[in-house]
Structure 1
Amino acid sequence: MICKRLSLVDEARHWWRLWTIRFYALIGLAVPPVVNHPEIVTSLVAYVPAYWRPAAVSAAAIIVFAICPAVLRLLKQRLPDAR
């Protein structure tokens, strides 16, 4: 059974205190306004020169979805009993 093989991190009981969870919650809150008003993105893209746009998009995606969560997970985080 999958449940018996599934092993969670020690801090899983305190999932709401993990910075990665908070970071992705903020990302989730930022998506609906961008979807409802795509001109937000297009107005920001206008500041980036056309020849830099592919690199800028790739760098932004790597930073937001790979580097930031990894760094946040590596940071020492305080749990409720460790005040």
Structure 2
Amino acid sequence: MISNEHIFMQIDKQLVLAKTTGNENTKREALAAIRALCDLALESVPSSSPQAPSVVQTVPIAPTIQQPVALKEDDANGESLFDF
């Protein structure tokens, strides 16, 4: 098993490389290495640890339906479209 301290040293090394290089490809490779090292460190954390991600349950909310508003005109005879 690789110790976290060794992983942190490698992350620091890759971070310095990413900050100091002028080459975009080298910078991307260093950042990808940092991501892989972080994944490696997270895999070594026991699942019963408090740092383990928790499950969040979402509850959908039903949309509210608005009742149509009856329009009244001064010269209308009734509420139907066919009332003239």
Task: Name which structure has the greater RCO, CA cutoff 8 Å, separation 6+.
Answer: 1
TM-score, structure 2 as length reference: 0.33
TM-score, structure 1 as length reference: 0.34
Bigger fraction of residues in helix: 1
